[in-house]
Structure 1
Amino acid sequence: MHSFVAVAASVAAIGLPIALAGPAAATESCPTAAPAGGGTPEWTLAGATGSVAVTGSTATAAPRVDVSAPFSVTQTQVQTLQAGDGPVVPGSAKVSVCYMGVNGRDGSVFDSSYRRGAPVDFPLNGVVPGFQKAIAGQKVGSTVAVAMTSEDGYPDGQPSAGIRPGDTLVFAIKILSAAG
């Protein structure tokens, strides 16, 4: 079990106010096993520079995000990797998700609830715009990916996560639940 402080520090990388972030109440977990090598990615995107290939998580493995760095986009793009069959997530929802964040500049994973093995709960109005755009309007149970501009992520950077001003970020997200 991870402490609230560790979870709060890690979710700061996606722009959550620490007072609102905490371990998920759901009994679900995020798979910690490395994804299988090979296979066909569910989303491949050529950016303004570089490219990214994303394969969503499975019941037993974390997602795979392969970056040809430096990867950048000029507008935020969202792709549903695996459609869920739950209700549509409203923009004001509190959600429980598993996620992995990758920096397009160098392909490094800067935050991952998969590494911790536990989902995180947060209100959508408490995260960076690109994360909101990825989740709002999707169905619960969906796995999505987003390549977000710096403006939709951290225009001024996030030094504690190794994010510099101008960095494009890529997230692979599994939406476990939504309320409200």
Structure 2
Amino acid sequence: MKIRRGALLSVTALALTLTACSSGTEPTTDTTDSAPAGAAAAATCPSTAPQGSVAPQWTLQGSTGSVEVVGSTDTAAPRIDVQTPFAVTQTQVHTLTAGDGPVVPDTASVSVCYMGVDGRDGKVFDSSYERGTPADFPLDGVVPGFKKAIAGQKVGSTVAVAMAPADGYPDGMPDAGIQKGDTLVFAIKVLSAH
């Protein structure tokens, strides 16, 4: 399926619908290039919620509300808890766990597991963790906030981003339940880059 500028491809692949800058290329499926040992075998995203009381790895107070993020592990999906409505005026990126692979260039194609939550209502609007399958896409084909979160990280890193509306969907994306001006929060695990 071709990525088109501003097109909603499907809610099941929202990472590909984060198309502010279209590449017009096919999504990639190779998840082995530039992957650290063990990451190449990560062909799935864990769907099990974190067990027990896990302390947040990142707490951020917004201009309104706040967010707490627990990153994913090899066996558990991330958790994003939002005190709504949560909003930021500038995109904030936080490395939850640093990887040991190569640095991801801003022109890379990547394979990631991710969860996206709307700061307005605290609801998950898309999650490759729920599907159990990583998403593969070029960083030049996503909204600026998603690219800011991944480019410059090391492969294997787990990252959280609180995305200001200007770096996400300033006019909203009704098909995904995102309204104009919504702040988006993502927890992302970078599996590979090439």
Provide TM-score, normalisation by structure 2: 0.84
| Counterpart residue number, 1:130 | 145
Task: Note the 1:4-83 alignment, pairs <5 A.
Answer: 7-8=12-13, 11-12=16-17, 20=25, 22=27, 24-26=29-31, 28-83=43-98
Per the TM alignment, residue 13 of structure 1 is displaced from its structure 2 partner at its CA by 5.3
CA RMSD, aligned part only? 2.2
Cα distance change of structure 1 residues 120 and 15 upon mapping to structure 2, 3 Å threshold? farther
Cα distance change of structure 1 residues 43 and 122 upon mapping to structure 2, 3 Å threshold? same
**What amino acid is the match of 2:158?**
T
Q: Count how many residue pairs are aligned between Structure 1 and Structure 2.
A: 176
Cα distance change of structure 1 residues 70 and 166 upon mapping to structure 2, 3 Å threshold? same
- The structure with the largest helix share of the pair is 1
Show structure 1 runs of 5+ residues with no match: none
- Aligned equivalents of 1:36 and 1:151: distance in 2? 35
Q: Tell me the alpha carbon deviations over residues 65-108 of structure 1, each in whole angstroms, 9 at most, x when there is no partner.
A: 00000000010000000000000000000000000000000000
Task: Note the 1:87-166 alignment, pairs <5 A.
Answer: 87-166=102-181
**What amino acid is the match of 2:135?**
V
Q: Is the 8 A contact 2:68 2:80 kept in 1?
A: yes
**What amino acid is the match of 2:57?**
E
- The structure with the largest strand share of the pair is 1
Q: What secondary structure sits across from 2:106 in the alignment?
A: coil
- Aligned equivalents of 1:41 and 1:169: distance in 2? 18
Per the TM alignment, residue 21 of structure 1 is displaced from its structure 2 partner at its CA by 6.0
**What amino acid is the match of 1:97?**
V
Per the TM alignment, residue 25 of structure 1 is displaced from its structure 2 partner at its CA by 3.5
**What amino acid is the match of 1:39?**
V
After superposing the two structures, state which structure 1 stretch, 13-22 or 98-107, moved more.
13-22
Task: Note the 1:165-176 alignment, pairs <5 A.
Answer: 165-176=180-191
Q: Is the 8 A contact 2:172 2:182 kept in 1?
A: yes
- Aligned equivalents of 2:190 and 2:102: distance in 1? 11
**What amino acid is the match of 2:69?**
V
Q: Is the 8 A contact 2:16 2:137 kept in 1?
A: no
Q: What secondary structure sits across from 1:115 in the alignment?
A: helix
Q: Is the 8 A contact 2:172 2:181 kept in 1?
A: yes
Provide TM-score, normalisation by structure 1: 0.90
Q: Is the 8 A contact 1:89 1:139 kept in 2?
A: yes
- Aligned equivalents of 2:59 and 2:14: distance in 1? 30
- Aligned equivalents of 2:68 and 2:14: distance in 1? 28
Per the TM alignment, residue 14 of structure 1 is displaced from its structure 2 partner at its CA by 6.6
